[in-house]
Amino acid sequence: MTNALKDRVALITGGTSGIGLACAQRFADEGATVIAFDLKETQDWKAFTTDYPSALFYSIDVTDGPAQKAAVAEIEAKFGAVDILVTAAGVREAGPITMVDQVQWERVININLNGTFLSAQAVLNGMMNKGKGSIITIASIEGLVANEGGGAYNASKGGVVLLSKNIAMDYGRKGVRCNAICPGFIETPMFDDIMNDSSMTDVRASIQNQVKLGRFGKPEEIAAAANFLASDEASYITGHSLVVDGGYTAGHSHGIVQMLGLG
């Protein structure tokens, strides 16, 4: 590792599992002080903190704006302003909108979109006062292109993409960069909960067939992209939506390259 984030303070929502935990591990490896907001500590998080005992955990629901602001105030008092925010907290409800009730819809929007808004709001004043900061939202390719049966999730992640652009526009002259990462199909606990069901065997195979690299992604591959966007190597990148999807959205596959001996 390069110590690219040495002396930076990194706050990661949804930081105890999946993409959030992978970001915490990568940032810590790069020298950052890491803080996670999540509902509970996982065994994987506890294992991580044995190697990085300085990492902090706050039990916080990202839809609770006052709780986020209070925790950020504590962090700022102890470490100074947050340098890096990654908004990895997220949920999904599957089904066309006639099959998703209002409670399910509002839960997805509240956590994925409102939670991102509240997390960004909690750190922005500190970043502006410091004159520097990087906000990295975890959106999705499903915020750029529709995926059948994903109305609530798609809408929430599309909102995250545009919110990220607005943050970049509104706070760039204050030294704050904001970029969205749009992961494709990544092997996280949420992915496994859905795709490892026996009823999804054919769907899983069909999706994987459309991934041009022929495999699903790893959380560490999203963390690598986040590390780049958090670092000074990305100092002139803001308002961007970085697709990390193994080529899934590059186009449609119909078996022609396999016929030509390339698959």
* Bridge partners, 223 (sequence order): none
- Active-site option among 153, 171, 236, 248: 153
Residue appearing with tokens 């906000």: 135
Taking the alpha carbons of 211, 14, 69, 108 in that order, is the dihedral positive or negative?
Answer: positive
Contacts (Cβ under 8 Å, ≥6 apart) of 129? 81
Residues 199, 181: Cα–Cα separation, whole Å: 29
Which single residue is written with the structure tokens 């005992």? Answer: 53
Asked about 52 being catalytic, the answer comes back as no
Distance between CA atoms of 251 and 253, rounded to whole angstroms?
Answer: 7
- Contact between residue 154 and residue 146 where contact means Cβ atoms under 8 Å apart: yes
DSSP helix/strand/coil, 146: coil
Catalytic residues: 153
